[in-house]
Structures are given as C-alpha cells and as structure tokens.
Amino acid sequence: MNKGCSFWYKPPLRAAALLFAALLALSGWAAADTRLMVVSDLHYLEPSLYRGSDVFLQALRRGDGKAAQYGEELMNALYQTVLYEHPDALIVTGDLTFNGEKLSHLALAGWFASIEEAGIPVWVIPGNHDINVASPVGYGNGMIYRAEGTSPEAFAAVYADCLETGEAGFSYVAKVSDELWVAMTDVAIYQDTAVTPGLFSSGHAAWLEGVLKNAREEGARVVTATHHSLLVHTELYRDSFVMSGNEKMASLCRTYGVKMNLSGHLHIQHIARDGELSDAALGAFCMWPHRYALVTLQEDGTLVYDAKALDGRFLPEGLSDRSREWFAGITADKAKADISGTRDEIEMMAEYAARFNLAYFSGTYSKDDPSWTEDPAYALWKAQWNTSFIAYMGLVMNEDTGDNLHLAIGE
Ligand SMILES: [Fe+2]
C-alpha cells in the first residue's frame, strides 16, 4: 500500500516541527520499541460550516461538552503532538467528524497527509458519526442548513492513504512493525442510514480469525481496535455502546492471545478488564482534557498503554482552560436545571457536579478519594434524591474501577 500522501494543508510551525522530528529520528530514541499513538472521537467540524454563525455556539452549548469551536486549534496541537511524540503510527478509532460532513473529512485528510509527510503513517476506521449520517448540517446566521454528507465510497476516496478497503466494511490490518499489528476492526453500521450501535458480525469474525492466524504464523503481536466497546465498561453505558457480537470478538481474542482492544465512542477515559483481556476506551479528543494514548510494545514483550492529555504548550494560551470551562459550564447548566435550593446551594451543587463529571470523563475520578463524599455539596446533592444527576453519581460511585489511564500487559 502506498502511504505517500498528497499535501493539502500546511499547518503553522510545520518546518520547525519537521526539523524536531528529524532530530528525534537521528537520535535513535526508543528505536527498539514499537510505539503507537491513538486518538478517538475528534468530531471535527470544518470551520466554514460554522464560522460567523450566531446559532452554532447556542447549539453546541446544549450538547455533551464537545469543544468543536476549537477544532482547528486542537488539530494543529494534535499535529504538533504527533511530531513531538514521533510514534511509529497514528491510529484514529472513529468519529472523525462532527456528523459526517464531507468538508470536515476532507480537512482532516489534509491534516493526516501532513503527518504522513513527516514519515508517520496514519490509519483510520469510521465511527457512527462518519458515514451516511442522517443529518449533516452547517450553521449560518439564524439558521441551520443541510451540508453534504459522506457515503462509504466517498469515505474510501477521501482516506485512500489512511485505510484499506475490502473486508467487513473498512476492516484491515495496520502493520505498525513486524512485531506489532493493529487489527483495525470496523464495527460501525452505516449501510443505509448510520445508527449508534455497533456490530461484530460473522463476516468480521471470519476476517479477524484469518488475521490472527496470519499473525501467529508471522510471530506478530496483535492489538485490536474498534470504535465501539468490546467489553462492558459501566452499566451507565451498555446499550448502543458495547457492540453486538462482542462475546464472539472477545472469544477470538482470548483464543489467539489478544489482550488489548483500543476503543472510543464512550467519550470517557475508561479501561475495562475481564480476565486477561482489556478494552481501553479513549476519552474523546474533542473534549477537555483532549486525550490521546501511547501504546508501546517494549523489547521485553510488555505492552504498555499510557493515556495522556494534550499539552497546553501546543495550544493557544488559555485555550485548555477555556475548553475546561466550556465542558464544566455545560455540566453545571444541566445540573442547575434539575435541582432546587437557595442560590448559594444551587451554585455549590452545580460546581460540584461539573468537577465530578470532568473527573469521571477524564478518567481521574477515584471512589477511594474521600473528598468526594466529604464535600458539603455532596450532602446537598444527596437530598436531591429524585434528580438524574444524583442517580448518575450513585452509579459512578458504585463502580468497581481501577486505573483508567495506564495498563501494562505481559506476553
Ligand atoms: Fe463520538
């Protein structure tokens, strides 16, 4: 496969970043390990589809915390981060675009082409927001209009250098090195209109078993990658989040010694573990703290997963804080709509709700931290027994969670 790319977009600081990448390559840093960088749920919206619109931010404010208004700055920061980390490949586990707009896909393909020009292959699979989405839209003055969407054929053409076509949708093997293969497994459903759930079908099973047999013969370690969850992460998000047929895929993984799946879709940074098999759901890149992960196959055979947050130095000054405030503000608005009390009590509870939600989504919430239940705002929340947020909080606090940022797996 030709991984050379056409060059459509020249991000700022490109020359300096390329020089830095070349110096790293010359230094021979980490040459013995295979290093993979992962991002998911970019939900990129091409700026001409919303710039100057008075209704865009209002619509986004009613959403789930996506900071799509900073998409261009985030992509520029991602570009610089990829060159800084200089992995052997970048993989993107779906939900590339906001809602499948063709313009958004074209712009992303330009960014990926720039990364490939720096010698780092990029591999993508679609999510449920990428192909045949029912209503891709743009935002104008006082109005929302229909934007051009993306068919499977158009998706294949736009990302011709970043995927392979053929079996079980856009399922293919990304051979990151002789030692590490990623089975990019497209479980999104978009044959007619895209739907939220995912499916691992008998076709996927036949394809994946063939890949795993090949890998065994070639002596390569396999990590699988899907958009939807392979394992159940939380009772909060089971239907539409865990792919149908997940047991079939998990069984194949266990039979052939695959111990790590990389997923997205939840938008929450969360690692599910079931025996020797783990499913690392990466927090959405479009939401604070803008997660990415590094997966390293070490020389000793250990596979290490390390979730990181976008470094503020690659973003315009203050943007990381503004993005955090955006997500916190959306959570606080929703909490306030649901509760009663004095103005001070409502402010305390809303602030707590935002802090709690951001900690959970970023994978840093721990029920072992007593400050969550000792907080005076928590006592106020407990009195709001009939609200959806206290129900959500109760489920999260009862989860049996481990480290959601790191994973180390032996051979
Ligand atoms: Fe998503």
- Residue pLDDT, tens place only, 187-216: 999 999 999 999 999 999 999 999 999 999
For residue 85, what are its two tokens? 């980390």
Measured in Å, residue 54 CA sits from the centre of ligand 1 at 24
* CATH at 120: 3.60.21.10
Whether residue 132 is found in the same domain as residue 254: yes
Same domain (yes/no): 153, 293: yes
Write phi, then psi, for 320 (nearest 5 degrees). -60, -40
The answer to whether residues 180 and 211 belong to one domain is: yes
User: What is the maximum alpha-carbon separation in the chain?
Assistant: 68
Query: Any idea what DSSP says for residue 275?
Result: T
Tell whether 215 and 360 lie within a shared domain. Answer: no
Q: Are residues 235 and 341 in the same domain?
A: no
Distance 315 CA to ligand 1 centre (A): 22
* Residue 189 and residue 294 share a domain: yes
Q: Do 207 and 304 have their domain in common?
A: yes
pLDDT in tens, 87-127: 999 999 999 999 999 999 999 999 999 999 999 999 999 99
**Residue 362 in domain:** yes
Residues 265 and 385 in one domain: no
28: pLDDT confidence band, cut at 50, 70 and 90? Answer: very low
Q: What's the whole-number average pLDDT of the chain?
A: 92
Residue 16: pLDDT band (50, 70, 90) is low
Q: Calculate mean pLDDT across residues 65-93.
A: 97
Same domain, 290 and 325: no
Ligand 1: centre distance to CA 41 (Å): 5
In a domain, 353, yes or no: yes
Is 3 part of a structural domain of the chain? no
Residues 142 and 37 in one domain: yes
What's the CA-to-centroid distance between 94 and ligand 1, angstroms? 7
Give the dihedral of Cα atoms 398, 260, 297, 113; nearest 10 deg: -100
Whether 66 maps to a domain, the answer reads: yes
Number of domains forming the structure of the chain: 2
Among the three residues 313, 335, 354, which one is the final residue of a domain in this structure?
A: 313
pLDDT category of residue 19 using cuts at 50, 70 and 90: low
Last residue of a domain, one of 268, 290, 313: 313
pLDDT digits (tens, 9 = 90+) for 123-181: 999 999 999 999 999 999 999 999 999 999 999 999 999 998 777 899 999 999 999 99
Ligand 1 midpoint to CA 95 (Å) = 5
Single out the residue of 150, 191, 184, 188 nearest to residue 164, CA to CA.
184
- In-domain check, residue 409: no
Q: How far is the CA of 200 from the centre of ligand 1 (A)?
A: 18
Could you report the per-residue pLDDT of 235-294, keeping only the tens digit for each? Answer: 888 888 999 999 999 999 999 999 999 999 999 999 999 999 999 999 999 999 999 999
373: containing domain: 318-398
Are 97 and 104 in contact, with CB atoms under 8 Å apart? yes
Return d(Cα 139, Cα 119) in angstroms, integer: 36
296 and 368 in a single domain? The answer is: no
Note if the pTM is more than 0.75: yes
In a domain, 7, yes or no: no
Whether residue 405 lies inside any domain: the answer is no
Cβ atoms of 262 and 242 within 8 Å: the answer is: no
The reply to whether 352 and 370 lie within a common domain is yes
404 lies in some domain: no
In the listed set 313, 333, 357, which residue is the last one of a domain according to the structure? 313
Top pLDDT among 31 and 403 is at 403
